[in-house]
């Protein structure tokens, strides 16, 4: 019987890349919804608007930050 050593990720990322991309997608959608809610419900004298490209940049960048925080937290709790 052959004994296998557990595989440790040397990068310290905590999760695999496909899982990270999935988490990034979820975080980006949530960030986009939050930004749209913020723009819609801001009470100013004029109507506050945001363009679609700006919304995409904000969503993807905040989604990336959220996914990275989740990956780091998973990595911390997975370490022996």
pLDDT of residue 50: 85
Enter the pTM of the model. 0.75
| Number of Cβ within a 10 Å radius of residue 60 | 16
**Helical axes 17-40 vs 52-78, angle rounded to 10°:** 130
Instruction: Report whether pLDDT(11) > 60.
Output: no
What is the rounded average pLDDT for all residues in the chain?
84
Chain center to CA of 21: 8
| pLDDT (0 to 100) of residue 76 | 85
pLDDT digits 0-9 by tens, 33-52: 998 988 888 877 677 788 99
Q: Please, what's the b/e burial string for 20-39 (b: 16 or more CB within 10 A of its CB; e: otherwise)?
A: beebbeebbeebbeebeeee
């Amino acid at each position: 019987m052959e004994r296998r050593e557990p595989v440790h990720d040397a990068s310290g990322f905590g999760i695999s890349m496909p899982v990270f991309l999935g988490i990034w997608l979820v975080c980006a959608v949530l960030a986009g919804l939050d930004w749209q809610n913020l723009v819609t419900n801001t009470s100013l004298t004029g109507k506050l608007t945001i363009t679609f490209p700006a919304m995409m940049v904000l969503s993807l960048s905040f989604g990336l930050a959220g996914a990275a925080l989740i990956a780091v937290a998973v990595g911390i709790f997975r370490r022996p």
